[in-house]
Structure formats: C-alpha cells, structure tokens
C-alpha cells in the first residue's frame, strides 16, 4: 500500500514522498529520482511496486527544487540535507529494518556524496540505479572521487548503453573499491534502462532483472 508522506528538511522546507510497505518487510530502500524526473515517474513507481512484491519497503522522495517545479537542481548541500531528512523519516517508518539508500542517477550521486561526508544513520548499504559517472559525451571519473571514502556495501546497476557511464572507466574504478562494491551490468540497457526492440528483450524484462539483482544483493549484506 502506498502512503503519501511529508518530509521536513529544515524549518522552511518540506518535500513530498511516497512510502510503500509490504505486509512482511525485510528492509527499506530510501531513494531519490534522477535530476529531470520526480517521484511519480513511471520508473520510480515500478521500482517501488516491484520491490514491494519482494518484501522490501520503499520511501521515495523529491528534492526541494522538484517540489517547486524548477528544472535547476538544488546546490549539493541542500540535496545532502534532504537525503538525511529522508533517512530520518525512514527510520521512524521502519524502525526495525535495515535501510538501503540511493536512487536513480542524480539522486544516487547526491546520496553517495552525503554518505561520504558523514555516515547516514541506520544505513546498511547504497544502491545506485544508473550511477551518473560523467556527462554524456564527456568521459571522466571525477564525479566518483568521493566513492573511495565510503566503507559500506554499494550496488551499481548499470546498462551497457548508458551514455553517462562509460563501462571502460566504471569497471576499473569499481575494482579499486574492492569488496565494498558490486557491479551488475544490464545488457543492452541505456541510462533510463530502456532496451531497443532489436535486443529481443523488453523494458519489463530489464526491470525484473534490476529488481532480482537488487534483492539478491540484499541477501549478501
């Protein structure tokens, strides 16, 4: 069942969220959307519904700029504060279960930055739905420099056609993170986890692979 929630970021700011809790809950994924999306994006809804079917609760939430209808992302400190507020809310909603934090693209990167700066309380791991390693057409690893400061399990779910994550750069980078990092490659998927018709697969097939990979990784924590 999906419940709308309000998350207090500071004295002047609240953001929207949706809490989905199955009848039997073994963990909760606290996740934020990509920079150009929102919590009602079909992909975000599908991830929450699919994890719920696998007994994983979810709390997905907006950043303040999304709440205002702006297309310009908030400065990182504002995003980091929002990540922490969402984690605090999840701890109240699921007091007995481990928390996994992360998100789609920008949401995942803001979460990893927040964790690298100061540990997110109650969080057992981070899961990224397409980590945005660099801008499209501008391969670089600078955005990932902070990942070496994170000493907890991390799951990277990445498509082979992701224009924001050149696998020839991402694979060796993840290798340097050692046992903390797990890379799951989704064949044929782009940054939105869409696959072309010629691949012989459907976006639903990809979604199921994402959900199953997340669930399997969770059992290893």
pLDDT of residue 194: 96
Report the 3 state secondary structure along 73-96. Answer: CCCHHHHHHHHHHHHHHHHHHCCC
pLDDT of residue 96: 82
| Tens-digit pLDDT string for the chain (221 aa) | 799 999 999 999 999 999 999 988 999 999 999 998 999 999 999 999 999 999 999 999 999 999 999 999 999 999 999 999 999 999 999 988 899 999 999 999 999 999 999 999 999 999 999 999 999 999 999 999 999 999 999 999 999 999 999 999 999 999 999 999 999 999 999 999 999 999 889 999 999 999 999 999 999 98
- Interhelix angle for 203-219 vs 42-53, to 10°? 50
Task: Name residue 181's beta-bridge partners.
Answer: 154
Q: What is the pLDDT of residues 185-209, one digit of tens each?
A: 999 999 999 999 998 899 999 999 9
pLDDT of residue 56: 97
Structure tokens at 3: 């419940």
φ and ψ at 84, to 5 degrees? -65, -40
Average pLDDT of every residue of the chain: 96
Are 101 and 30 in contact, with CB atoms under 8 Å apart?
A: yes
- DSSP states of 120-179: PTTEEEEEEES---SBTTB--SGGGGGGGG--S-EEEEEETT-TT--HHHHHHHHHHTGG
Q: What is the pLDDT of residues 17-28, one digit of tens each?
A: 999 999 889 999
pLDDT of residue 1: 78
Q: What is the pLDDT of residues 77-99, one digit of tens each?
A: 999 999 999 999 999 999 888 99
pLDDT of residue 205: 96
Structure tokens at 47: 């991830």
Structure tokens at 159: 């498509």
């Amino acid at each position: 069942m999906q419940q709308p929630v309000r998350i207090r970021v500071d004295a002047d700011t609240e953001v929207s969220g949706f809490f989905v809790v199955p009848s039997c809950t073994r963990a909760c994924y606290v996740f934020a959307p990509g920079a150009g999306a929102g919590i009602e994006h079909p992909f975000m809804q599908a991830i929450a519904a699919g994890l719920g079917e696998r007994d994983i609760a979810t709390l997905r939430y907006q950043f303040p700029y999304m709440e205002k209808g702006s297309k310009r992302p908030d400065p990182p400190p504002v995003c980091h504060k929002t990540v922490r507020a969402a984690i605090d809310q999840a701890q109240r909603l699921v007091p007995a279960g481990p928390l996994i934090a992360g998100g789609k693209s920008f949401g995942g990167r803001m979460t990893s930055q927040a964790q690298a700066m100061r540990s997110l309380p109650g969080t057992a791991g981070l899961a990224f739905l397409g980590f945005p390693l660099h801008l499209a057409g501008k391969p670089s690893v600078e955005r990932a420099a902070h990942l070496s400061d994170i000493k907890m399990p991390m799951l990277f779910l990445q498509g082979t056609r992701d224009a924001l994550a050149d696998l020839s750069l991402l694979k060796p980078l993840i290798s340097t993170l050692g046992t903390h990092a797990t890379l799951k490659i989704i064949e044929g998927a782009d940054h939105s986890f869409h696959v072309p018709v010629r691949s012989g697969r459907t976006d639903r097939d990809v979604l199921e692979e994402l959900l199953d990979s997340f669930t399997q990784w969770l059992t290893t924590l």
